Amino acid sequence: MLRSPPATRAWQAIAYLLFAAAGAAAFIWPIPVVRATAGSATIAGIWVCFLVIGGLTAATGRALGQWPGEYVGLPPIAAATAIYGLSILTATTAVGFCRSPYASVPFGLALVAMTALVVGRWVEVNRTRQEALRQAKQARGDVLIGRHRPNGGR
């Protein structure tokens, strides 16, 4: 179980729900530059699913204080924010997408920065996962003082 103050868990769960809402909004109102970068509506739809499913999964796990939800939900969120951010950054100079060639650079950089924050959170959750697995093995007797038991743990 992830041990954080209830207010921290609540705010993080809200943030993950906002990722899901952003995915739903991108489905309803697709971003032209992202669809153009994707090359097809199907690929853009997959990115939308990453946001929605990742956001809902991570929000549920965080609200319950259980690491599996965040562990599974954060990678799709990170992939989607990175793809959206990089799509916007690479297409800002393309004619027809922006009134000014660099109008979307701050937004693209913000999305890439958000990706870094999401990846950082995933690293924290992964540490929690590793510790939980270590404790479970120790409780079963699979680990003796940090080493595997002789003869394969039998």
Q: Per-residue pLDDT tens for 122-148?
A: 999 999 999 999 998 888 886 555 555
Tokens 């965080």: give the residue.
62
37 versus 130: the higher-pLDDT residue is: 130
Angle at 22 between CA 63 and CA 16, to 5 degrees: 15
Is residue 95 scored above 80 in pLDDT? no
Please state, for a pLDDT cut of 70, what percent of the chain lies above it. Answer: 82
- Under a CB-based contact definition with an 8 Å cutoff, are residues 108 and 92 in contact? yes
Distance CA 46, CA 37 (A): 13
- Under a CB-based contact definition with an 8 Å cutoff, are residues 62 and 9 in contact? yes
What pLDDT, on the 0 to 100 scale, is given for residue 130?
A: 94
DSSP string, 102-132: TTTHHHHHHHHHHHHHHHHHHHHHHHHHHHH
Least trusted range by pLDDT, from 2-11, 75-84, 93-102: 93-102
Q: Is 152 left (phi over 0), alpha (psi -120 to 50) or beta?
A: left
Distance CA 62, CA 83 (A): 24
- Under a CB-based contact definition with an 8 Å cutoff, are residues 104 and 79 in contact? no
Which structure tokens are listed for 53? 């499913």
Distance CA 103, CA 67 (A): 38
What pLDDT, on the 0 to 100 scale, is given for residue 146?
A: 55
What pLDDT, on the 0 to 100 scale, is given for residue 92?
A: 63
> In 3D, which of 52, 47, 113, 120 has the Cα closest to residue 84?
47
Count of residues for the chain? 154
For residue 149, give the DSSP letter: P
pLDDT confidence tier of residue 113, bands split at 50, 70 and 90: very high
Q: Per-residue pLDDT tens for 51-74?
A: 999 999 999 999 998 889 999 999
What pLDDT, on the 0 to 100 scale, is given for residue 33?
A: 72
